């Protein structure tokens, strides 16, 4: 009888703050790919944002827990926060394989912008052997994602998937800017996250 592997989604991000674009995407991939769970993994020290000012990890972690709490398939992992140095996905995936064993298949969930940079990720060839990638996309980005898939040949075709998701023009950058300007972020982030941002005075300056 064929062995049934647990399917685990990995939603990595800075989550500064987490917003409904992240949540809608993770849920769409969970359903489409039959994932048993999705791990949200806030990055401690994102390699691609080394020079940017990032909110202390504890705030980003708490907001991620608040945002995902009501979905029984969503979990938050502090794995990258507990590890010193830059948060490379290859290290995270190796650690998750140690934790969950070989009986799990991993699906790393990204937006279209992140997939464009995939060729520059640390140990990307090995990483593609260890996990699948799902690029949430909209019609305008399909050719760019297909170019990335072609770049990796057969491994790209087997391991990189794309999924059309609702177009939500939301970014954490825009949310931080809105808070700074005193504009509403209602419905762009879950209510608990909105309350937390206001209570803690995040993103005001
Ligand atoms: P920032 O504006 O600070 O760069 P961000 O909104 O892009 O942040 P991240 O935490 O950097 O959020 O992103 C984590 C992951 O979520 C990335 O793979 C990114 O492509 C994806 N993502 C971000 N915003 C959206 C969105 N609106 N819809 C779908 N995926 C998204």
Residue 144 or residue 10, greater confidence: 10
0.80 cut: is pTM over it?
A: yes
Q: How confident is the model at residue 46 (pLDDT cuts 50, 70, 90)?
A: low
CA-to-CA distance for 20 and 23, rounded, in angstroms?
5
Beta-carbon contacts of 111 under 8 Å, excluding residues fewer than 6 positions away, are 21, 25, 135, 136
Region 6-168: CATH code: 3.40.50.620
Residue nearest to atom 22 of ligand 1 (CA): 111
Helix (H, G, I), strand (E, B) or coil at 200: helix
**What's the pLDDT at 48?**
67
**CB neighbour class for 26 (10 Å; exposed up to 12, middle 13-18, buried from 19):** buried
- Per-residue pLDDT, 176: 97
Least confident range of 8-12, 15-19, 108-112: 108-112
CA 49 to ligand 1: nearest atom? 4
In short, whether 21's Cβ falls inside 6 Å of ligand 1 is yes
């Amino acid at each position: 009888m064929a062995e049934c592997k647990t399917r685990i989604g990995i939603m990595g991000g800075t989550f500064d703050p987490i917003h409904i674009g992240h949540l809608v995407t993770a849920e769409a991939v969970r359903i489409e790919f039959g994932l048993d769970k999705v791990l949200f993994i806030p990055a401690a020290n994102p390699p691609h944002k080394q020079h940017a000012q990032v909110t202390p990890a504890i705030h980003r972690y708490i907001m991620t827990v608040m945002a995902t709490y009501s979905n029984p398939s969503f979990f938050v992992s502090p794995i990258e926060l507990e590890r010193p140095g830059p948060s490379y996905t290859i290290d995270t995936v190796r650690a998750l394989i140690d934790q969950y064993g070989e009986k799990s298949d991993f699906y790393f969930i990204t937006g279209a912008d992140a997939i464009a940079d995939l060729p520059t990720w640390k140990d990307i060839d090995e990483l593609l052997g260890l996990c699948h990638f799902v690029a949430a996309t909209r019609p305008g980005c399909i050719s760019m994602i297909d170019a990335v898939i072609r770049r990796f040949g057969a491994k790209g075709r087997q391991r990189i998937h794309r999924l059309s998701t609702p177009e939500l023009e939301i970014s954490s950058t825009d949310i931080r800017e809105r808070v700074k300007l005193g504009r509403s972020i209602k419905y762009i982030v879950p209510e608990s996250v909105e309350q937390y941002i206001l209570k803690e005075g995040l993103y005001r300056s």
